[in-house]
Amino acid sequence: MESMSTTNQPGTLPRVAYFCMEYGLSADLTIYSGGLGVLAGDYMKSAGDMRAPVTGIGLLWREGYVEQTIGDAGAPVDKYVPTSLDALTKLDVEFEVEVYGKTVACTAYKVDRYTTADLFLIEPVAEEHRWITKRLYGGGQKDRLAQEVLLGVGGVRLLRKLGLDVDIYHFNEGHAVFAGLELVRESLGEGADVKQVVADVRKQIVFTTHTPVPAGNEVHPLDEVIKAGGGVGLNQVLLEELGGGESFSMTAAGLRLSHRANGVAQLHGETARTMWKDVTDGAPIASITNGVHAPTWQDARIRAATVLDKSASERRRELWGAHQTMKRELIGVIAEQTGVTFSADRLLIGFARRAATYKRADLIFRDPERLEKLFADNALQLVFSGKAHPRDEAGKAIVTKLVEATRRFPKNVVFLENYNMDVGAALTRGVDVWLNNPRRPMEASGTSGMKAAMNGVPNLSILDGWWPEGCRHGETGWQILARTVGADDDEQDRLDRDQLFNVLEEEVMQRYYSDKSRWIDMMENSIAMSRWRFSSDRMLQDYYEQLYSVDFAESVESDRSEAAASN
């Protein structure tokens, strides 16, 4: 195939190949599960908007991620539906990858909507091999390794087939590590100095780690990695050095194969530097805080209300009016799905996230007597949503607890099924307050609160993830802080729960019902705080400057000057 003409072609910025297992671009394209994918989708959208030469590499999941509803018994029920191919174009390209001793012929699709940056999704040609890409995060260890070999090794080979000259390979999490091994294999000639080859390859690779939770960092038996094809014929000693021994750590290998790496918030960077200090040999892991794509997540009515060519009083009046309109729209969605009709003039708090135990979605229900007092006169309304991995029984138990709470407090608590990007957008626009109470420091970043802030919704959150950077207590939202050195999880949960209620009773509800002017101040502050600082445009620029080592603004200006001269 001839060298491919790409959509965005600035001349001075390095071309980046961005590898990720999932991309959240739209609820209609079900090739994402949650935060990692939505972050990758927002990154690709900003790359297109800013004409940055980024090429995304992913996999085409034929059944995408699970749809999850609630059964009659109150437990999650999983259903898989075919992925719509409406937004995709199949390319006239074919290449081969060895997976578990089989030669797998692959092709690729280009995503035609949602971003103007180039995003390609790999798929096996033959039906007999499509078990590999049947379901995102489906199956067991064999499936996962086969998927990661296809993403990494296949991704590099696809780039070669397309004739794309790549300057930087950006691995978004450890799933893409096999791309690094393929780059090493490509460079190994007879008699080559392996250590020098690895050193040279490292200069092309950067790595983003997203999770401070040990269980979230994949580890596989080395012999299984080699069987899967992840070793791509490399020396076993080298693989042991990269992965950490007989157990191959994908995160450790990603860090050892990259010359720069980053965590996804300032606090997470600190946590990651401690977690991986023995792997990085003292080299720092940077902190580049995640961001969200404002055109996707900020409602147009909020943007219209906050333009600067209006008087302050007019902006405030329109902002409040826009918020109330979106709140009524959310209340309509709630009524349609649950049969419960909330009040637009009563405080509405939202919580929606992947159902993981450390996020403690049920924390507020652990003191039912205190909660019942807040429910008096319907002064507090709670809406929850979330989805558990199909094989995560602990996560499903959390969802079941939330559903049980809706039955105990039917007038004040609701749960929206099948959490996805559309549900997330409705919630982060329509609630009055966004609640977040993970067990610190286990939330790497979290971006739902950024989306809420962009829509004028103050956050009520543990000082974890991105919130220590965004929180000005009483101005952009509120902090929940009750840290005790040496406290075990149960004691910390109790302290955090009590502090959550204290802030809710004494500050949040008091201000909402007694000081509308200061509440609107907080809405304005939230929007101003998040507009650039927590946008994916800013994140993209930080990646170029801190990971890719380029002065982004200067390079873009140079490109514009060249374009003007050529015209």
- Does the residue 560 lie in any domain? no
State whether 399 and 351 are in the same domain. Answer: yes
- CA 190/CA 183 separation, integer angstroms: 16
Which domain-ending residue is among 259, 287, 315? Answer: 287
State whether 93 and 192 are in the same domain. Answer: yes
Q: What is the pLDDT of residue 10?
A: 45
* Amino acid found at 349: I
Tell me the pTM: 0.94
Which domain-ending residue is among 254, 287, 320? Answer: 287
State whether 156 and 206 are in the same domain. Answer: yes
- Does the residue 9 lie in any domain? no
Q: What residues make up the domain containing 144?
A: 16-287
State whether 328 and 277 are in the same domain. Answer: no
- Does the residue 565 lie in any domain? no
Helix axes 250-257, 194-202, angle to 10 degrees: 90
Q: What is the pLDDT of residue 192?
A: 86
- Does the residue 100 lie in any domain? yes
If one counts the domains in the chain, the total is 2
Q: What is the pLDDT of residue 2?
A: 40
- CA 399/CA 387 separation, integer angstroms: 7
Is the bond leading into 441 cis (omega within 30 degrees of zero)?
yes
Residues in the chain, how many?
Answer: 567
- CA 326/CA 294 separation, integer angstroms: 17
If 0-12 CB within 10 Å is exposed, 13-18 middle and 19+ buried, where does residue 317 land? middle
Point out the residues of the chain with pLDDT beneath 70.
Answer: 1-11, 281-283, 482, 484-485, 555-567
State whether 412 and 461 are in the same domain. Answer: yes
Paired tokens of 287: 């902190």
Q: What is the CATH number of the domain that holds 191?
A: 3.40.50.2000
Which DSSP symbol is given to 543? I
Q: What is the pLDDT of residue 232?
A: 76
- Does the residue 81 lie in any domain? yes
State whether 253 and 348 are in the same domain. Answer: no
State whether 431 and 330 are in the same domain. Answer: yes
Which domain-ending residue is among 229, 258, 287? Answer: 287
- Does the residue 552 lie in any domain? no
Is the bond leading into 295 cis (omega within 30 degrees of zero)?
no
State whether 283 and 311 are in the same domain. Answer: no
State whether 232 and 367 are in the same domain. Answer: no
- Does the residue 425 lie in any domain? yes
Q: What is the pLDDT of residue 43?
A: 98
- Does the residue 1 lie in any domain? no
State whether 314 and 282 are in the same domain. Answer: no
Q: What is the pLDDT of residue 8?
A: 43
Please name the residues in contact with 298: beta carbons below 8 A apart, sequence gap of 6 or more.
451, 454, 455
- CA 31/CA 62 separation, integer angstroms: 8
Cα torsion 525, 526, 530, 532: sign? negative
List pLDDT tens digits, range 207-230: 999 988 777 789 999 999 999 997
State whether 412 and 491 are in the same domain. Answer: yes
State whether 133 and 148 are in the same domain. Answer: yes
